[in-house]
């Protein structure tokens, strides 16, 4: 699943639940956050970094690491603290979820600090949204 497909489905999903898109899809080679959205009702801003899937395991790992680094660069000093106006998230194809959770299992402390929301997009366009607290519960199945 390409990054563009993940982005298109996720944008549709976010708009359907009341988020207003603040940026257009980027062209190939452009840098910056993939999705910027606002929910004026709650004075919240959402920043999402997206990555595509690959048939190569090493590329899949690299995509996860890259997404983590890119979203961390976008964080302000308040990060993802409760009641902050900013929410930071990652979006991936659903096929990468197990790999991400396994990475999460080995890095509980770091992920607790980041409090990232994740979006998992299926090939049919369905989106599953997981808060970091839900990822913590899922990661308990690792051991």
Model-level pTM?
A: 0.88
**Element (DSSP H or E) covering residue 111:** helix 108-114
Give CA–CA dist 47/89, Å, rounded: 6
* Rg of the chain (C-alpha set): 14
Give CA–CA dist 56/58, Å, rounded: 6
Q: What is the pLDDT of residue 80?
A: 60
Averages of pLDDT over runs of 10 residues in the chain (143 residues) are 93 96 76 88 91 90 90 74 79 92 75 85 96 80 65
For 5, the 3-state DSSP assignment is: helix
Pairing of strands 127-130, 117-121: antiparallel
Beta-carbon contacts of 47 under 8 Å, excluding residues fewer than 6 positions away, are: 33, 35, 36, 71, 74, 86, 87, 88, 89
Q: What is the pLDDT of residue 143?
A: 55
Handedness of CA 7, 13, 15, 17 (dihedral sign): negative
Give residue-wise pLDDT tens across range 99-133: 888 887 777 677 777 888 999 999 999 999 998 88
């Amino acid at each position: 699943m390409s990054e563009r497909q993940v982005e298109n489905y996720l944008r549709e999903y976010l708009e359907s639940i009341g988020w207003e898109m603040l940026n257009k899809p980027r062209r190939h080679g452009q840098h910056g956050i993939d999705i910027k959205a606002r929910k004026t009702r709650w004075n919240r801003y959402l920043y999402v970094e997206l990555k595509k899937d690959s048939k190569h395991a090493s590329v899949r790992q690299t995509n996860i690491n890259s997404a983590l680094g890119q979203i961390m660069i976008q964080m302000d000093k308040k990060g993802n603290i409760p009641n902050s106006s900013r929410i930071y998230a990652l979006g991936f194809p659903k096929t990468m979820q197990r790999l991400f959770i396994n990475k999460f299992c080995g890095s509980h402390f770091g992920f607790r600090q980041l409090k990232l929301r994740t979006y998992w997009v299926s090939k049919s366009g369905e989106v599953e949204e997981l808060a970091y607290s839900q990822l913590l519960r899922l990661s308990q199945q690792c051991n």
